[in-house]
Chains A and B, each alone.
Chain A
Amino acid sequence: MTTMQQPLTISISETAAEHVRHFMMVDGKEGYTVRVGVKGGGCSGLTYDLNIVPEPGENDKIIEEHGVRLSVDKKSYVFLAGTVLDYSGGLNGKGFVFNNPNAKTACGCGTSFSV
């Protein structure tokens, strides 16, 4: 029997990439980078951080997918490896969602996690 190995990278879904490209266009930020990361805080210990920046940070890991450039700092990468950045739309949607296989617990409102 074989098991599927979770790829040790960060990826972005096609839907999320579409929204990113749309936001970049509206804000006149085409060609910018989506910098994802982790911050200390939230009830569970770690929260996600998502910014559109002109350039990736020095020493950031760069991932290009669906026409979007993602960058992540090395320390955050440890906590985000395997994460898929998705987008939950509609009236009840949550917007950008981090599907993180490393998250063992999440707080009640779902914005923070622990590993």
Chain B
Amino acid sequence: MRDGALTQMNAMSAHYGDPAIEFAALEFGVGVTDRSHVGRLRLLGSDVLDLLDRLTTNKLENLEPGEGLPTVLTTNKGRVVDLLTLTATDGHLLCLTSLGRQQVVAEWLDFYTFSEDATVEDASAGTAQLSLAGPGAAKLLERLGIDVSGLPAFHSRTHVLAKADVLVWHMLSAGTPTYEIIVPVAAAAGAWEAFTQAGAVPTGHEAWEAYRVRHGMPAYGAEFGDDTNPLESRLKGAISFNKGCYIGQEVVARLNTYQKVQRRLMAVTFSDPAKIGDALKSAGGISAGIVTSAVQVPGGGTFIGLALVRQEHAAPGVTLLVADRDTTAILSEPAFALATEPVEA
């Protein structure tokens, strides 16, 4: 193992030598990324699902062991506190939060817990999270004796790997499968070694970020947050429109029913480097949006990004300009499947 992977929980390596090879592995083979710095919460108690159902956008009446789904924690103004991904396992719910958001989410849930049997524990430090991504991910797991065939998106299974129980969690990420592997910290190095020996390319932050942007996966603080609603951030697949009340439901339902969403998240290909916060304008000079993520595909590849674009300009094939220079920005639909496909348990 190089660069101290899995030894510094909050310092994911930027790369392991060549980000271009790492990105290629994620796109065409299989890469393993230490993403232990992402937040993980353990939610316990007989009322915890009911509590989450009242606080978040998706329908959470029942989750059988192994089942899972995404849901959005929203404020009463319909703004995003965080995108949560849940799975039922081992007598509790495991909840993935965005990077560094576990404390905020835990405090939010605690504030709204009155007489319910619901407890939130931060599982971030006690577990590690390895992301196995790329078209070869399922085959690699199979070689290690882990059968993920027929495992629906967001569902999970417990397997034994490196002499430890590990949770294998199928994540929906457009175009290329991703499995989040949640392991006890003590077993993380063994699991990493098993994956890399089976052929997974160690992949660092640079390649992962390009992979995220390439596939249009929105991130907290960039594409969604307390200044966006879940619809403009293209999180519609995590929203149930017939579940009844939850905090922020009136606002979200109204935006959807009356088509009042002002902006839409779009994927962008730039002619030259762009940066987060760059303003976009139409050919006629009208303000059209803002760049929320911008990367160059590792290895001198294309400049790609994500942007929140005003509804009237947000269509595939539209060419915009970065406001203060001649850089062109060609829009396309973000591939992230949450953008289009509703997912309910």
Using a CB–CB distance below 8 Å, which chain A residues touch chain B?
37-47, 49, 57, 73, 75-76, 105, 107-108, 111-112, 114
Contacts and interface: CB of A to CB of B under 8 A. Distances in A.
Main secondary structure of the interface of B (DSSP, over half): loop
Interface of B: 51, 54-55, 76, 111-116, 245-251
Contact of A76 (B76, B114, B246, B251): B114
A7 to B, nearest CB: 23
A40 B250 contact: no
Main secondary structure of the interface of A (DSSP, over half): strand
B248 A73 contact: no
B114 A44 contact: no
A20 B205 CA distance: 61
Contacts of B114: 37-40, 49, 73, 75-76
Q: Lowest 5 CB-CB distances: which A-B pairs, in order?
A: A40-B112, A41-B54, A43-B250, A45-B76, A43-B249
Contacts of B247: 40-45
Nearest to A76: B114
Contact of B115 (A37, A45, A47): A37
Nearest to A39: B114
Given A37-B114, A41-B246, A114 B76 contact: yes
Contacts of A40: 51, 54-55, 111-114, 247
A46 B115 CA distance: 13
A58 to B, nearest CB: 11
Most chain B beta-carbon neighbours within 10 Å: one of A40, A45, A47, A112: A40
Contacts of A76: 114-115
Contacts of A49: 114-115
A42 B248 CA distance: 8
Nearest to A41: B54
Contacts of A114: 76
Nearest to A44: B76
30 contacts: A37-B115, A39-B54, A39-B116, A40-B51, A40-B54, A40-B55, A40-B111, A40-B112, A40-B113, A40-B114, A40-B247, A41-B246, A42-B245, A42-B247, A43-B76, A43-B245, A43-B246, A43-B247, A43-B248, A43-B250, A43-B251, A44-B76, A44-B247, A45-B112, A45-B247, A57-B115, A75-B114, A107-B250, A108-B250, A112-B245
